[in-house]
Amino acid sequence: MEHVYQLVDGIVFKGKLQKQVTLHPIDSVSYDLVEQLVEEQLQHIQNQADVVLVNDSHLQGLKGYMLLNESAASSISKIGDENVDLMFFDLCQLKISAQDWNVILTANLAIAEYYANQAAMLA
């Protein structure tokens, strides 16, 4: 199931301003891939000489933010009418505004909660 959302500022994608994104719920296989990617990114960050994580709570907080961003990015199936398969880094390259990223994050959380509740009711 796909859900269409309107953006505030829009994204310049393939030379055209797009004001609409389509999101879909990510399945468990996709979420596992996102989780694996985040683990690899965290390991890379921890190996940097100039990065000092204060404690395990700091690490878990960082991991949570990274999971939130990566899962939201992977839930985007279309920008305008164009099919896409994105990671958070890809969206950063598109220079998405904070307002539009907030729309996507909020929509992704709502979609995830809705489908989790639907699955719980069916169980």
Average pLDDT, the chain: 92
pLDDT for residue 54: 86
pLDDT tens per residue across span 78-121:
999 999 999 999 999 998 999 999 999 999 999 999 888 766 66
The whole domain housing 108 covers 3-122
Burial of 51 (0-12, 13-18, 19+ CB in 10 A): exposed
Whole-angstrom distance, CA of residue 79 vs CA of residue 51:
34
Instruction: Name which of 103, 104, 97 is nearest 73 in CA terms.
Output: 104
Question: pLDDT value at position 68?
Answer: 95
Looking at the structure of the chain, the number of domains it has is: 1
Q: Residue 122 — very low, low, confident or very high, per pLDDT cuts 50/70/90?
A: low
Determine the pLDDT at residue 115.
Answer: 86
